[in-house]
Chain A
Amino acid sequence: MREKVAIGSAAAAAALLAYNLYQMFMVLPDEALQGAIYRILFFHAPAAMVGMVGYFVALTFSVLYLTGKNFLYDSLAASVVEVSLVFSVINLVTGSLWGRIIWGIWWTWDARLTSALVCVLIFFGYLMMRRAVDEPTQRARLSSALCIFGCVDVIIVYKSIDWFRTQHPGPVLDFRTGGGKMDPAMANIFWLNFLAILLMAIALVLVRTRQEATAREIDSLRRLAHTAA
Chain B
Amino acid sequence: MRTVKHALLIARKDLAVELRTKESINAAGAFAIVILLLFSFAFDPGSEEVREIGGGLLWLVFAFAGALVFNRSFARELPNDCLDTLLASPLSAASLLVGKALANFIMLLAMELVSIVVFGIFFNVNWTVHIGELSLVFACATWGISILGAVFGALTVNLRLRELMLPIIIYPLLIPLLIAAIELTKVLLSNQPMTPGDFLWAKILIVFDVVFTALALVLADTILVN
Contacts and interface: CB of A to CB of B under 8 A. Distances in A.
Answer whether A and B are interacting partners.
yes
Interface of A: 66, 114-115, 118, 121-122, 125-126, 128-129, 132-133, 138, 141-142, 144-146, 148-150, 152-153, 156, 163
Given A132-B160, A145-B222, A163-B200, A125 B172 contact: yes
14 contacts: A118-B176, A121-B172, A122-B169, A129-B155, A129-B156, A129-B169, A141-B222, A145-B219, A146-B155, A146-B169, A149-B151, A152-B212, A152-B215, A156-B176
A174 B10 CA distance: 54
A125 B168 contact: yes
A103 B200 CA distance: 28
Contacts, number: 57
A54 B169 CA distance: 19
B88 interface: no
Q: Closest 3 CB pairs between A and B?
A: A121-B172, A125-B169, A122-B172
Nearest to B148: A149
The A interface is mostly helix, strand or loop, or mixed, namely helix
Interface residues of B, number: 24
Contacts of A153: 172-173, 176
A122 B165 contact: no
A156 to B, nearest CB: 5
Contact of A118 (B155, B165, B172): B172
Given A125-B169, A129-B165, A141-B225, 6 more contacts: A125-B168, A126-B169, A129-B159, A145-B219, A145-B222, A149-B151
Contacts of B159: 129, 132-133
A180 B108 CA distance: 50
B161 interface: yes
B222 A66 contact: yes
A229 to B, nearest CB: 23
A118 B151 CA distance: 19
Most chain A CB within 10 A, of B151, B173, B225, is at B173
A20 to B, nearest CB: 34
A128 B176 contact: no
A89 B159 CA distance: 27
A129 B162 CA distance: 10
A144 B219 CA distance: 10
A66 B219 CA distance: 10
Interface string B121-161: 00000000000000000000000000010010001101111
B223 interface: yes
Contacts of B158: 138
Contacts of A128: 165, 168-169
Contacts of A132: 159-161, 165
